[in-house]
Amino acid sequence: MQAINLGITVRRQAELWLEHMETRRRKPCKPATLQNWSSSLRRWVLPRLGDLPLSCVDNTSVKPLIDDMTAAGRGSKCIATAFQVVQAVLASAKDEKTRKPLFTIVWDHDYLDLPIVAYSRQPSFTQDEVTRIVSLAEGQCRMLYALLGGAGLRSGEAFGLEIDKHVSTDCSKIAVQQSVWNGKVQSPKTKNAIREIDLHPDLARMLKRFIGDRKSGFLFCTRTGSPLSKSNVLRRSLHPILKQMSWVDPKNAGITAGFHAFRRFRVTWLRKNRAAEDLIRFWLGHGGRSVTDDYSMVRDDVTYRKEEAERLGFGFELPSEKLEVVPNAPICTQSMSVSEVA
């Protein structure tokens, strides 16, 4: 009661902040980001600061939060996220007329002893590893991994592809216009993520055989037509394959990679083969780094893009004809149906 009498609490302001971030028209936050913030609030911030009035939040009150997370062995990124959430919640309390923050804190990072986020684990695959992963995968997972490695798609973008909407008739071009997260279709990660990706002719032919006679629906789907589940495909297909390969991240031994390792492989391959940087950013869905990048019309030169896609290749070997993916393949790993993956 004392906290309430002194003013709005961190818990209540956090609720208002999350609601605003989810519903605002200008740059609404993605569900994955909101989930990450909510998890940090629920697990760490609110149990320690939730009942404090906003006026009592300062370096002294936040330091025990940092110390507890450090003692619990939380990583530097996790601790930094919790601190950023505290800052954002506090900054979201504004004067109704002036829209200026009601509370301005000079944060003392040395006093808080905030860890420096110096290394973010970024596993990647080699050419031989991608070749083996694709060859060991079965069913639609084989096509999925080949497309992730050969096109640099984000996993949610791949799961969001629909045959009649996003794949060209000859399968030489993919249009990224939506993504899937937790089984729900949403807009891509950023405005730059809305793009076209040109495929190497060999990869396009593999994709065309995979689609077969299908005319519509999700490219990668369950028997009921819904998009595949990212977590299930990881757990039941990719991670068992990596275990079979005795794969380890050379920078962090023993930690299994995810779908983004294919994307890092693609960027590495394009750079090693001297692809134009603005073409790499366009295919990967990244924004330009300077005003000059905005002047580049590479994205509009379809002929050049197709020529470069063929010249650059995709850096790994596709399975031999006898191992070819068949349309509507019912399995992703041995003895596992598509419906089990979803």
Within this chain, do residues 213 and 95 fall inside the same structural domain, yes or no? no
Collapsed DSSP state (helix, strand, coil) of residue 143: helix
117 in any annotated domain: no
Domain boundary among 50, 82, 112: 112
- Residue 233 near residue 144 (C-beta atoms within 8 A): yes
pLDDT computed for residue 340 by the predictor: 42
Please report whether residue 120 resides in a domain.
no
| Residue 281 and residue 206 share a domain | yes
What's the confidence (pLDDT) of residue 189? 75
Residue 328 lies in a domain: yes
Q: Could you list the mean pLDDT of each consecutive 10-residue stretch along the chain, which spans 342 residues? A: 60 95 85 91 96 95 96 91 96 92 93 82 90 94 97 95 96 95 84 92 95 94 92 93 83 74 96 93 82 68 93 92 47 41 46
The pLDDT value recorded for residue 174 is 96
Q: Are residues 99 and 141 in the same domain?
A: no
Query: DSSP string covering 181-220, please?
Result: ETTEEE--SSGGG-EEEEPPHHHHHHHHHHHTT--SSBSS
For residues 27 and 72, membership in a common domain is answered with yes
Model pTM greater than 0.75? yes
Task: Supply the pLDDT for residue 327.
Answer: 46
Statement to judge: residues 140 and 92 lie in one domain: no
pLDDT for 334 equals: 38
The Cβ-side half-sphere exposure at 51, using a 13 Å CA radius, reads: 5
Q: Looking at the 3D structure of the chain, how many domains does it have?
A: 2
- Residue 320: predicted pLDDT: 77
Domain hosting 222: range is 127-341
Claim to verify: residue 23 and residue 59 sit in the same structural domain? yes
Domain harbouring 131, CATH code: 1.10.443.10
Is 222 found in the same domain as 144? yes
Domain match, 141 and 60 both: no
Same domain, 54 and 149: no
- 213 with 328, same domain? yes
